[in-house]
Amino acid sequence: LRLGLPEVIYAEGKTPEQVAEIFRRMADRGGAVLATRAGAEAWNAVKAQVQDAEYHALARVIGLRERHAATLHLGPIAVVCAGTSDLPVAEEAAVVAEYLGVKVSRIVDVGVAGLHRILSQREALAEARAVIVCAGMEGALPSVVGGLVAAPVIAVPTSVGYGAAFGGLAALLGMLNSCSPNVTVVNIDNGFGAAYVAAMMLRAGAKSA
């Protein structure tokens, strides 16, 4: 059913050996492979077994592109976040989207407390077929971005913050109650899921045209 989509390993809670072993087995079948939530040790174990794999340290993603496969040129989408703390989640989204054949434009350092920064990116946003917005603390950025674009916004609450941030709960609730009607939400820190949904939208859209 999902021809062309990579196999994805969730590396959290698996030993480096387990990750490497599953990765190699999937790579042998010839398609694309991804491992998310993968630390340096998992990467060391994988690269010893799968020559062409690549590591994206900030995103904590190990990837292997499909050989001889015609790349789908979907998108572009924008991946947006406010600051350095949200970057790992944003990068997980961006890197996964790229492996799924989607062109990504990264827009970082655009918090709601300094509107000029997000406003200065309106052109880049206007080109996006979908926008992924990662935000912690009060999670207000998706509402602001939602008002600036005529495209779906996939909001990713992050666990960034302290105290009454409650590990991402404040951002999650904020996003679910967004006053911008084009906003949907995935799980806290789930950059992978946001990328996957964005790719699905673009593929389904491409088919339907």
Ligand X SMILES: Nc1ncnc2c1ncn2[C@@H]1O[C@H](COP(=O)(O)O)[C@@H](O)[C@H]1O
Which residues form the interface with ligand X (CB under 6 A)?
A: 8-10, 36-37, 83-85, 181, 190, 192-193
Q: Which two tokens stand for residue 4?
A: 């062309």
Rounded distance between C-alpha atoms, residue 111 and residue 92, angstroms: 19
Q: Which lies closer to a copy of itself via its Cβ, residue 52 or residue 187?
A: 187
The backbone torsions φ and ψ at residue 128, rounded to the nearest 5 degrees and listed phi first, read -70, 135
Total length of the chain: 209
The answer to whether residue 147 forms part of the interface with a copy of itself (CB under 8 A) is yes
Rounded distance between C-alpha atoms, residue 187 and residue 168, angstroms: 9
Pick one of a copy of itself, Mg ion, ligand X, none as the site partner of residue 125 (Cβ within 5 to 8 A by kind). Answer: none
Candidate segments 39-47, 51-59, 62-70, 201-209, binder of a copy of itself by CB under 8 A: 201-209
Rounded distance between C-alpha atoms, residue 20 and residue 5, angstroms: 20
Q: Which of residues 176-195 bind a copy of itself (CB under 8 A)?
A: 176-190, 192-194
Q: Which lies closer to Mg ion via its Cβ, residue 45 or residue 134?
A: 134
Residues 6 or more apart whose CB falls under 8 angstroms from that of 188 comprise: 156, 157, 158, 159, 167, 168, 169, 171, 172
Pick one of a copy of itself, Mg ion, ligand X, none as the site partner of residue 201 (Cβ within 5 to 8 A by kind). Answer: a copy of itself
Pick one of ligand X, a copy of itself, Mg ion, none as the site partner of residue 36 (Cβ within 5 to 8 A by kind). Answer: ligand X
Q: How far is the CB of 123 from ligand X (least distance, A)?
A: 25
